[in-house]
C-alpha cells in the first residue's frame, strides 16, 4: 500500500511515475531528508549568520534612532541570537534526519506555538515576529533562483505555477508528471500540461505537506489521484496503466487522417488550440485541420517581454505557413485573470477575473494591441489567417476592435507595407455576449464559444479554484441552454467551440447535439476527440441534448450522459472513465 494518497482532479490525461521534486510555497520549507546532517547544520549556521548580517546592515541606517523600525530590527536580531533556534534546529537535523529547511520550519513552529495560543495581542504579535525569522531564514537557504528542474526523471509538485513557468518547465524532457495544489481542469496551467502532453493532477490540496522530496509518486491524470510512495505492485500497475494509455493514444493517432464525420455521416471540423509555436508539429501529426484558437498571450507570458512587430510577424507567419492551406485563428492578447506577465501592474485589481482583462486591458495599452494587429495583417498576406477578439461583452466593444484593425490597415497602406484584411471574429465567453449573440453575429465573420470562461462567469465559479470545480461544469443545464441559444442566435455566421468542453469525450454528444459542427481542442486531446466524434450518432445526440436541457442539475445531466456514453464509446469509455 502506498504511504498516502492525494486526491485532485484530472488535469491532463496519462499516468506518470517518478521521484518528487517539490517547489515550496513562498516562505515555506521543502520537506526533504538530510543526506549529510553535518552539511545541513553548516548550512543552517551560514544562513543564520547571513540573515543576522542583513539585518545589521539595515539597522546601521538607523544608528541612534529610536524609531519603530529600529526597534523592530533589534527585536529580530535578538531572535536570531536565541540559542534555542539554532540548537533545536540542529537537533532536528541530527536526530530526526530532517533537511535544514524542514527543521527550521519545525523549530519556528514550536517556538511560536505558546505565543500563538496567548489571549494577549502583544504576545500573538511576537509569534508573528518568530514566523518572519523563519521565512527570512528559508529565503536565505533557498536563494531566489529561477525554478529549474534537476536532471533525470521527476514529478513536479507545486502549489501553483505561473503560465510563464509552466510553459518553460512542462517542455523539460525528464518531466514525468505534475501535481498542483491549485487549479482545475480548465485553469491555464492544466491547459498547458495537456498541450505538452504531461500527465497532471490539479487541485490536489495539501500535496506539498504530504510528499517528501525524492520519494516516488504516481501521477494518475486519468483518475485525478496521486499515490505517495507506492509499493512495488502499485508502481508496476501504474506503469502498466500508463503504457496502456500511451498505446491507446498511439492507436488513435493511426486513424488521425481518416475523415471526421459522425456515424450518420455529418461532417465535423476539428482544429487545434495552440499556445506555443513548439506545438505545431504535434498539431500536424495529431490530425488537426488547422488552428481554431492560437492563444497569442503566451508569446508574451513565455518571455516576460512584449515581442516587437517583426518578432510577432515571424511567429505568426511560421504558424500560418506550417498549417497551410488550413486556417489559423489568432486570438489577440487575452491578458489578465490568471494570465499576467511578471511585472505587469495593470490587471491586478481586487478580482482579476472580473477586472481589466483582455480587450479592457488592451484599451489601456492600445500600443500593444496596435503592434499585434499590424503583425497579424502582414502575416495574413497569402495565408488563411483569421483574427479573433477575446472577452467581447457587447457589440460596442466589437466595433471598437474592428475600428482599430481598420486604422492599422490604413496605416500600413500609407506606409506602403504589404498586408491583407483578414476575417474578423469574436469569442462568445461572457454571458452578456451569449445573450445578445445575434447582434455580434451580424457584425462578425465568425464566432467561437469559450466554454471555460462562459461556465466561470455564468455559474459564478472561479475556473482556477478547485473548491468549486464541481460547480464550474459545462454539464449544468443553464450552460446547455445558453449554448443552445448561442447556436440558434448565430444564425448562419460560422460558429465553433474552442473551450475545453469540446475536448471532453462525455460532453461531445451534447456539444454536437446542441448544433456545434466545428471544434477546436488542445493538441493532446485531438486523437481522442476525432475518434469520439466518429462514434456519435447525431440523431441520438440531438435527442440526448434535448433531454439534458430539461433536467434539474449538473449531476442529473452527468448521470444521463454517462449512462448513454457507455454503449457509444465502447473500449474508449474504459480509458476515459477509469
Q: In the bound complex, what is the minimum distance in angstroms from residue 526's beta carbon to ligand PEP?
A: 15
Among 418-426, 428-436, 525-533, 549-557, the segment contacting Mg ion (CB under 5 A): 428-436
Q: In the bound complex, what is the minimum distance in angstroms from residue 451's beta carbon to ligand PEP?
A: 5
Q: Closest CB to ligand PEP among 383 and 429?
A: 429
Among 207-215, 240-248, 306-314, 421-429, the segment contacting Mg ion (CB under 5 A): 421-429
Residues 376-405 within binding reach of Mg ion (CB under 5 A): none
Catalytic-residue membership of 498: yes
429 binds Mg ion (CB under 5 A): yes
First to last CA, the chain: 20
Catalytic-residue membership of 188: yes
Q: In the bound complex, what is the minimum distance in angstroms from residue 295's beta carbon to ligand PEP?
A: 5
Q: Decide if 457 contacts 430 (C-beta within 8 A).
A: yes
451 binds ligand PEP (CB under 6 A): yes
3-state SS, 69-123, equals HHHHHHHHHHHHHCHHHHHHHHHHHHHHCECHHHHHHHHHHHHHHHHHCCCCHHH
Q: What 3-state class would DSSP assign to 228?
A: strand
Say which DSSP state 459 is in. T
Q: Decide if 268 contacts 262 (C-beta within 8 A).
A: yes
Residue 516, C-alpha cell as written in the block: 456545434
Among 203-211, 250-258, 446-454, 464-472, the segment contacting Mg ion (CB under 5 A): 446-454
Residue 330, C-alpha cell as written in the block: 489568432
Measured between alpha carbons, how far is 22 from 101 in angstroms, rounded to an integer?
A: 12
How many C-beta atoms surround the C-beta of residue 233 within 10 A? 9
Region of 258 on the Ramachandran plot (φ > 0 left; ψ -120 to 50 alpha; else beta): beta
Residues 307-336 within binding reach of Mg ion (CB under 5 A): none
Contact pick of 200, 260, 329, 498 for ligand PEP (by CB under 6 A): 498
Tell me, by CB under 6 A, how many residues bind ligand PEP. Answer: 10
One symbol per residue from 182 to 211: x for binding ligand PEP (CB under 6 A), - otherwise; what is it? ------------------------------
Q: Which does 451 bind (CB under 5 to 8 A by kind): ligand PEP, Mg ion, none?
A: ligand PEP
450 binds ligand PEP (CB under 6 A): yes
Q: Which of 132, 136, 188, 426 is catalytic?
A: 188
Residue 205, C-alpha cell as written in the block: 490540496
Q: Which does 498 bind (CB under 5 to 8 A by kind): ligand PEP, Mg ion, none?
A: ligand PEP
Measured between alpha carbons, how far is 250 from 151 in angstroms, rounded to an integer?
A: 27
C-alpha dihedral, 432 to 433 to 435 to 440, nearest 10°: 140
Measured between alpha carbons, how far is 460 from 172 in angstroms, rounded to an integer?
A: 35
Helices (H) and strands (E) in the chain, counts: 24, 16
Measured between alpha carbons, how far is 262 from 513 in angstroms, rounded to an integer?
A: 11
Among 79-87, 264-272, 372-380, 447-455, the segment contacting ligand PEP (CB under 6 A): 447-455
527 binds ligand PEP (CB under 6 A): no
Residue 540, C-beta contacts closer than 8 angstroms, at least 6 positions apart? 509, 564, 568
Any idea which residue has 467551440 for its cell?
497
Residues 358-387 within binding reach of ligand PEP (CB under 6 A): none
335 binds ligand PEP (CB under 6 A): no
29 binds ligand PEP (CB under 6 A): no
Among 36-44, 156-164, 239-247, 450-458, the segment contacting ligand PEP (CB under 6 A): 450-458
Contact pick of 262, 296, 312, 452 for ligand PEP (by CB under 6 A): 452
453 binds ligand PEP (CB under 6 A): yes
Q: Which does 228 bind (CB under 5 to 8 A by kind): ligand PEP, Mg ion, none?
A: none
One symbol per residue from 452 to 481: x for binding Mg ion (CB under 5 A), - otherwise; what is it? -x----------------------------
Q: Closest CB to ligand PEP among 48 and 512?
A: 512
Q: Decide if 400 contacts 358 (C-beta within 8 A).
A: no
Q: In the bound complex, what is the minimum distance in angstroms from residue 499's beta carbon to ligand PEP?
A: 3
Q: Closest CB to Mg ion among 381 and 471?
A: 471
Q: Which does 10 bind (CB under 5 to 8 A by kind): Mg ion, ligand PEP, none?
A: none
Cis peptide before 330 (omega within 30 of 0): no
Q: Closest CB to ligand PEP among 131 and 297?
A: 297
Contact pick of 450, 522, 524, 527 for Mg ion (by CB under 5 A): 450
Contacts 24+ apart (CB under 8 A), 573-578: 575/222, 575/244, 575/245, 575/248, 576/13, 576/222, 576/505, 576/506, 576/528, 577/506, 578/222, 578/223, 578/241
Q: Which of 341, 335, 326 is nearest to 280 (CA)?
A: 326
* CA neighbours closer than 13 Å in the CB half-sphere of residue 3: 10
Q: Decide if 528 contacts 286 (C-beta within 8 A).
A: no
Q: In the bound complex, what is the minimum distance in angstroms from residue 393's beta carbon to Mg ion?
A: 12
Q: In the bound complex, what is the minimum distance in angstroms from residue 318's beta carbon to ligand PEP?
A: 21
Q: Closest CB to ligand PEP among 181 and 429?
A: 429
Q: In the bound complex, what is the minimum distance in angstroms from residue 524's beta carbon to ligand PEP?
A: 15
429 binds ligand PEP (CB under 6 A): yes
- The DSSP element (H or E) to which 387 belongs, if any, is strand 385-389
Task: Name the strands in the sheet holding 9-12, side by side, starting at the edge strand that comes first in the sequence.
Answer: 4-7, 225-228, 216-220, 15-23, 154-158, 175-180, 200-202, 9-12
499 binds ligand PEP (CB under 6 A): yes
Q: Which of 286, 408, 419, 498 is catalytic?
A: 498
Q: Decide if 530 contacts 267 (C-beta within 8 A).
A: no
Among 84-92, 349-357, 417-425, 448-456, the segment contacting ligand PEP (CB under 6 A): 448-456
Contact pick of 241, 286, 295, 357 for ligand PEP (by CB under 6 A): 295
Q: Which does 383 bind (CB under 5 to 8 A by kind): Mg ion, ligand PEP, none?
A: none
Catalytic residues: 188, 498
Please give the residue ranges that form the binding site for ligand PEP (CB under 6 A): 293, 295, 334, 429, 450-453, 498-499
Per CB under 5 A, residues contacting Mg ion are 429, 450, 453
Amino acid at each position: 500500500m502506498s504511504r498516502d494518497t492525494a486526491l485532485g482532479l484530472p488535469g491532463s490525461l496519462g499516468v506518470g511515475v517518478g521521484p518528487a521534486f517539490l517547489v515550496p510555497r513562498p516562505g515555506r520549507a521543502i520537506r526533504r531528508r538530510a543526506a549529510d546532517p553535518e552539511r545541513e547544520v553548516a548550512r543552517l549556521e551560514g544562513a543564520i549568520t547571513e540573515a543576522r548580517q542583513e539585518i545589521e546592515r539595515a539597522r546601521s541606517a538607523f544608528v541612534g534612532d529610536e524609531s519603530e523600525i529600529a526597534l523592530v530590527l533589534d527585536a529580530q536580531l535578538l531572535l536570531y541570537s536565541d540559542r534555542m533556534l539554532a540548537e533545536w534546529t540542529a537537533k532536528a537535523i541530527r536526530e530526526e534526519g530532517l533537511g535544514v529547511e524542514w527543521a527550521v520550519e519545525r523549530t519556528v513552529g514550536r517556538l511560536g506555538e505558546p505565543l500563538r495560543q496567548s489571549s494577549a495581542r502583544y504576545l500573538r504579535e511576537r509569534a508573528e515576529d518568530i514566523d518572519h525569522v523563519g521565512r527570512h531564514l528559508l529565503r536565505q537557504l533557498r536563494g531566489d533562483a529561477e525554478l529549474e528542474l534537476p536532471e533525470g526523471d521527476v514529478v513536479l509538485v507545486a502549489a501553483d505555477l505561473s503560465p510563464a513557468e509552466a510553459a518553460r518547465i512542462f517542455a523539460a524532457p525528464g518531466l514525468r508528471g505534475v501535481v498542483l495544489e491549485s487549479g482545475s481542469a480548465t485553469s491555464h496551467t492544466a491547459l498547458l500540461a495537456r498541450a505538452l502532453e504531461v500527465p497532471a493532477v490539479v487541485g490536489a490540496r495539501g500535496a506539498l505537506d504530504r510528499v517528501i522530496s525524492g520519494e516516488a509518486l504516481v501521477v494518475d491524470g486519468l483518475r485525478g489521484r496521486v499515490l505517495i510512495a507506492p509499493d512495488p505492485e502499485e508502481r508496476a500497475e501504474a506503469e502498466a496503466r500508463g503504457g496502456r494509455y500511451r498505446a491507446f493514444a498511439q492507436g488513435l493517432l493511426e486513424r488521425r487522417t481518416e475523415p471526421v464525420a459522425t456515424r450518420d455521416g455529418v461532417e465535423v471540423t476539428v482544429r487545434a488550440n495552440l499556445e506555443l509555436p513548439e506545438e505545431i508539429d504535434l498539431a500536424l501529426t495529431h490530425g488537426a485541420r488547422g488552428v481554431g484558437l492560437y492563444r497569442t498571450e503566451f508569446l508574451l507570458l513565455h518571455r516576460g517581454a512584449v515581442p516587437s512587430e517583426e518578432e510577432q510577424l515571424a511567429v505568426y507567419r511560421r504558424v500560418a505557413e506550417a498549417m497551410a492551406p488550413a486556417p489559423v485563428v489568432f486570438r489577440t492578447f487575452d491578458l489578465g485573470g490568471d494570465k499576467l506577465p511578471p511585472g505587469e501592474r495593470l490587471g491586478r485589481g481586487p478580482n482579476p477575473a472580473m477586472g481589466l482583462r483582455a480587450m479592457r486591458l488592451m484599451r489601456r495599452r492600445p500600443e500593444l494591441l496596435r503592434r499585434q494587429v499590424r503583425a497579424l495583417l502582414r502575416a495574413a498576406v497569402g495565408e488563411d489567417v483569421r483574427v479573433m477578439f477575446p472577452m467581447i461583452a457587447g457589440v460596442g466593444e466589437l466595433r471598437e476592435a474592428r475600428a482599430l484593425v481598420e486604422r492599422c490597415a490604413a496605416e500600413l497602406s500609407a506606409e506602403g507595407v504589404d498586408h491583407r484584411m483578414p476575417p474578423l471574429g469574436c469569442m462568445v465567453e461572457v454571458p452578456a455576449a451569449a445573450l445578445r449573440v445575434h447582434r455580434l453575429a451580424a457584425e462578425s465573420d465568425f464566432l467561437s464559444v469559450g466554454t471555460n470562461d462562459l461556465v466561470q462567469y455564468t455559474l459564478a465559479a472561479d475556473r482556477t479554484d478547485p473548491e468549486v470545480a464541481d460547480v464550474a461544469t459545462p454539464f449544468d443545464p443553464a450552460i446547455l441552454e445558453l449554448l443552445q441559444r448561442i447556436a440558434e442566435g448565430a444564425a448562419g455566421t460560422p460558429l465553433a467551440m474552442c473551450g475545453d468542453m469540446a475536448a471532453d469525450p462525455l460532453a461531445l454528444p451534447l456539444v454536437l447535439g446542441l448544433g456545434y459542427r466545428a471544434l477546436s481542442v488542445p493538441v493532446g486531446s485531438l486523437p481522442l476527440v476525432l475518434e469520439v466524434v466518429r462514434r456519435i450518432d447525431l440523431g441520438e445526440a440531438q435527442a440526448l441534448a434535448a433531454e439534458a436541457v430539461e433536467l434539474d442539475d449538473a449531476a442529473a445531466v452527468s448521470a444521463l450522459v454517462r449512462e448513454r456514453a457507455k454503449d457509444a464509446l465502447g473500449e474508449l469509455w474504459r480509458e476515459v472513465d477509469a
